[in-house]
Structure 1
Amino acid sequence: MNGRPNHPGLMSKTDEGGSATAKPRLERRRWERKENSDGDAVAMRGPPVLKPLEFSTRDMPNEQQFGAWQSYMEAVAEYRLPDGKAPADGFPAEHVAWNLGGALIVQLRVAAHSYWRSTAKLRASPIDHWRMAILRSGRSWTEVDGHVAQNEPGKVEFRTLGHPSRGRMTDAEAVLIYLPRDLFGDSATVLDDANNVVLSDNLSRLLIDYVSSLEASLPSLVAEDLPGIVGMLRDMVITSLSSVEHKHTAEHHGVGLMERARRYIRQNLDSPDLTPESLCQELATSRTRLYQLFESSGGVLHYIRRKRLLASHAALCDPANQKLISEIAEATGFDSPANFSRAFKLEFGYSPREAREHAAAEHAAYLGTNTSEDTKNFSDWLAALGR
């Protein structure tokens, strides 16, 4: 609208003309323009963009349900039925995932089970995303480094997938949010200090309310909404966890530098120029300080090599990756296939070829439990998150 229909001069001229049809004609033009204007505004927002990735065991034979769940969620953890339960008893589960680009939101209903993310699992799936869990019903108990955190409705649990853990859950309904570590920048150290904590303060309750309202909006979100939503989740998580008392206050000095070093290494694993010297230059620090930072990890060179081996292991286990083993070795920073194979077997106890063959067999077994040609794997979304 240009505002002319409300101009006093125009209205008085129409009155003076005495035309019985002048006002209706003017009103019709005004409302037509308003409708078009509103229509343009809606069109500019674009159509809804989120399509959920849905998985359910409920239509499967009882004896296949738990195996299908294990396969579908293999990138997250390993799973076991409660004592006294057998696969023939069935395992009803529903897993609906929404991909916001910088975050994954999962609406979950699942039967009781135990879970653990072992060192071996970290090798096969070296993702280090943060997971936030809000229970709507049920309870869970998770142990990390000897500390057990109990989650229940009205609370929020935070845990990293980059560290071994184990636990159990009753029949439950929950909302899970996966957030990539790089989303938090230097603030990732705030989360490190709060790994495996359960909060129930006012800030966490605000976070629960925000997630609940976000759930209702998921089917109608448009592309321009997503960055702001992810940013809001990040900021609310940081704010909620900033109040958690640091577990290692004396060691907290320098963790920002360590986080920058880790991030630089992750982003440059494929570069032959990734060396202690290049790290010192990037971080503007001395070799002595750098070695002090990585002393608990066996040294900076050991840390870099292990990250490269974990990345190569994940690539070999990816059924969509058809690169030759020698190409994967080069892509993860190794100067020769022989050196790569030797280091790989020393780290994992089996060869790169054996790792690929084992992963291929597991993938074939997973496909055998799913007849749909367009079956997708939640593991793919996790692997791509934050890239």
Structure 2
Amino acid sequence: MADSDPVRCDDPAIRQIPQFAIPRDGGDANSIAAFGMAVRDVFHIARVDPADPAEVETLAWHLGTAMFGRFAGPALRFDRPATLVASSGLDHLLVQYYETGGFTGDAGGEPVAVRAGDICVFDLADTLSTTTSAFCNLSLLLPRASIAPIVGDIASLHGMVVPAGSAVGGLLCDHLRSVARRLPGLTTAEATLAAHATVTLTAMVLASERRREGRSRTPSCPRSALLRINRLIDAEIGNPALDAERIAHVAGVSRAALYRLFAPAGGVARHIRRRRLSGAALELADPLRRVRVGEVAQRWGFATDRSFSRAFQQAFGIAPSDARERCLAFFTPGNGASETDPRDFAGWMRSLHAAGPAGDQP
């Protein structure tokens, strides 16, 4: 099979690793409605022209702490407003390679445009609004913590476009096409290794392109209050004393304003707790790492092992010490998400940043 050959949703070999598929449905609204439900933690979607065929084809694989997929559809609007940023809790980078089609719009209030062959980057801790033409893209959803050591200032990547003519960008395009072609034949262990290699290559390419463009965000650049405070929380997430009073003081806002800002997320305390549990669950869900529960608890700001275990058990219904076993069970063929239920796919999204082995959002 050539690299340009499409990956078919009905390929039986794809069942070797957890996968999710929404096939084209012949023109009724079922697939686009299912797609909207599946990605509801990432975007609000709408058709640009109601007369366009309501067909969206989705094929995605869960690779542990990353998700990879091919998505194709008609002209669509994708919106991620501040309320969704706050309520979804996603702490990821979305990297998309547009095989066909493109879009225009804004990322964090800055204009962005993508053509076929380009790679675009979105920080899901920020807002975006785009309008596509008919498209087919390869998408990679990456946890922030997995690329931060290489990339550093992830916020500066939001809305970055790696043009089709870029030499190092071309390497990443070729790699993503190869991953899409090869994944159906990989075992779960091989897919995990492929995910780690893909994360590393992606981070290095993005860091290289950012240096070439001279992109950076300084304190003088305009930012939403939500984004600025999320950065503060990220920087101090390992501090057990981090609370609303400290955040309000350091950010220079009133506690009342802070509570209003995080009301869609159920409050600032719940948001901090979810970020901590998300990071801890990601570490415990990684089959290639063996980290002591106590080390994980300390790194994510829990005062004691006991308080961490209690919070983890309450959120996920499983003890941290059992999380790896549940994660391994999830990656046994037949135990992943169903092939067509968009609610399960939304659970995949949440599992990358929150539930990991248990499948529930805190």
Check whether TM > 0.5. Answer: yes
The residue correspondences of 1:78-157 to structure 2 (distance < 5 A) are 78-82=44-48, 85-86=49-50, 90-157=53-120
Higher mean displacement: 168-177 or 304-313: 304-313
Q: Which amino acid aligns with 2:62?
A: N
CA distance in 2, matches of 1:160, 1:91: 28
- Give the equivalent residue in structure 1 for 2:201: 236
CA distance in 1, matches of 2:341, 2:39: 17
Q: Which amino acid aligns with 2:217?
A: H
**Compared with structure 1, are the counterparts of its residues 206 and 72 closer, same or farther at alpha carbon in structure 2 (3 Å cutoff)?**
same
Give the match's secondary structure for 1:377: helix
The residue correspondences of 1:317-356 to structure 2 (distance < 5 A) are 331=311
**Compared with structure 1, are the counterparts of its residues 233 and 308 closer, same or farther at alpha carbon in structure 2 (3 Å cutoff)?**
farther
**Compared with structure 1, are the counterparts of its residues 98 and 297 closer, same or farther at alpha carbon in structure 2 (3 Å cutoff)?**
farther
Deviations 1:126-150 (A, max 9, x none): 2121111111111112312331221
1:123 is displaced (CA, Å) by 3.2
- Give the equivalent residue in structure 2 for 1:158: 121
Q: Which amino acid aligns with 1:104?
A: M
1:158 is displaced (CA, Å) by 0.8
Q: Which amino acid aligns with 2:241?
A: T
CA distance in 1, matches of 2:346, 2:161: 26
Residue pair 1:96, 1:106 contacting (<8 A) in 2 also: yes
Match of 1:58 among 25, 36, 39: 25
1:223 is displaced (CA, Å) by 3.1
- Return 5+ residue gaps in structure 2 as ranges: 1-13, 222-229, 276-309, 313-338, 357-362
Match of 2:269 among 289, 308, 321: 308
CA distance in 2, matches of 1:382, 1:89: 28
**TM-score, length-scaled by structure 2:** 0.61
Q: Which protein has the bigger helix share?
A: 1
Residue pair 2:19, 2:61 contacting (<8 A) in 1 also: yes
Match of 1:248 among 217, 231, 244: 217
**TM-score, length-scaled by structure 1:** 0.57
Deviations 1:52-107 (A, max 9, x none): 21113515x6244543332232111111221xx33x75411111111111211111
**Compared with structure 1, are the counterparts of its residues 118 and 260 closer, same or farther at alpha carbon in structure 2 (3 Å cutoff)?**
closer
Percent identity, aligned pairs only?
A: 16
Residue pair 1:92, 1:110 contacting (<8 A) in 2 also: yes
CA distance in 2, matches of 1:218, 1:263: 35
- Give the equivalent residue in structure 2 for 1:262: 234
- Return 5+ residue gaps in structure 1 as ranges: 1-46, 253-257, 278-286, 315-329, 333-371
**Compared with structure 1, are the counterparts of its residues 276 and 194 closer, same or farther at alpha carbon in structure 2 (3 Å cutoff)?**
same
Residue pair 2:66, 2:142 contacting (<8 A) in 1 also: yes
Q: Which amino acid aligns with 2:158?
A: N
Give the match's secondary structure for 2:69: strand
Give the match's secondary structure for 2:175: helix
Give the match's secondary structure for 2:95: strand
The residue correspondences of 1:28-39 to structure 2 (distance < 5 A) are none
Residue pair 2:183, 2:191 contacting (<8 A) in 1 also: no
- Give the equivalent residue in structure 1 for 2:227: none
Residue pair 2:151, 2:207 contacting (<8 A) in 1 also: no
Work out the number of aligned pairs and report it. 260
Match of 2:138 among 161, 175, 182: 175
Match of 1:194 among 157, 172, 178: 157
Alpha-carbon RMSD: 3.8
Match of 1:225 among 147, 165, 190: 190
CA distance in 2, matches of 1:264, 1:138: 40
| Structure having the higher Rg | 1
Higher relative contact order (CA 8 A, sep 6+): 2
1:217 is displaced (CA, Å) by 0.9
- Give the equivalent residue in structure 2 for 1:358: none
